[in-house]
Amino acid sequence: MRIKKRLFIGLLILSLVFITAVLAGGWYLGWYLMANNEILFNRILLALGIFTLVIILLLIALGIVGLVLIIWRGRNQSLLQRLGLMAVNALFPIALALGSRLGVKQATIKASFIEMNNQLVRLRGLVVKPDKILILAPHCLQWSGCPHKITIDANNCRRCGKCPIHNLHYLVDKYGVALAVATGGTLARHFVKQYHPQAVVAIACERDLTSGIQDTQPLAVLGILNERPNGPCLDTQVNLKRVEEAIQFFLYPRMIKESQMQGESWHVESSI
């Protein structure tokens, strides 16, 4: 089940309110303590510090409003999106902490962030050549009993059909995109630098997808959560239809958007 984007946006707003309240309390306390301070310089420094923080908070607030407008109107605006990403990066740790305090699991919050990111990427409407699209998969998709190492070279896969890597190779052959299998964030970033993609279809858990999306901004990354029937990091699965839809979106964004606006569904033609 996909998590709603509004959960993460709501936590961003709550985080902004929390920081504003803390700073307002700090300003009041600081100004009160300096009420009898005859050193004018200290009061000027305090005023300048508060003014700077107010400007930063206003920019963050504008970024959150921008994200809401972009998603609500379904139109991308680069300036608002940049401000929105700035707000997300600034408030993300606080949103996680507040969400946990409210009883929301961190994985749920991160899944909501991924859904929001995917929506923003789709609205950019990028048209990408196949050789500039990278499928970035986690090594836990590989069958745990496989003796072949595919994290250095995904072509070492023997395509036995015992794990989803076989079907990912099918998509590589069908669309001409690249495939890399990473053991973690460091190797994933290495592959991004190696392939220089314009778009990435990333498969991972909530934690790795969240950090990967943030580390590679402003690169267009569509995140797809893996499925963990055997627990984390062991013989995981992925919805291949969603992976193919992500590839097709980067190849034919206008066609897909027009079909959605006309109320039609985009059908994936696949033998997977």
Burial of 9 (0-12, 13-18, 19+ CB in 10 A): buried
Question: What distance in Å separates the CA atoms of residue 173 and residue 176, rounded to the nearest whole number?
Answer: 6
Closest alpha carbon to 116 in 160, 53, 56, 72: 72
Domain that holds residue 208: 126-261
As for how many domains the chain has, the answer is 2
Domain stop point among 122, 147, 172: 122
Question: What distance in Å separates the CA atoms of residue 65 and residue 83, rounded to the nearest whole number?
Answer: 9
**What is the chain's pLDDT, residue by residue, as a tens digit (272 residues)?**
556 788 999 999 999 999 999 888 877 776 666 655 556 566 677 778 778 888 988 999 999 998 988 888 877 788 888 888 889 999 999 999 999 999 999 999 999 999 999 999 998 888 899 999 999 999 999 999 999 999 888 999 999 989 999 999 999 999 999 999 998 888 899 999 999 999 999 999 999 999 999 999 889 999 999 999 998 889 999 999 999 999 999 998 655 554 554 444 444 444 44
266 part of a folded domain: no
Alpha-carbon distances of 1 from 94, 137, 215, 218, 227, rounded to whole Å: 25, 21, 26, 27, 11
Specify the pTM. Answer: 0.84
Predicted pLDDT at 79: 83
Contact predicate 202/243, CB 8 Å: no
Instruction: Give yes or no: residues 54 and 137 share one domain.
Output: no
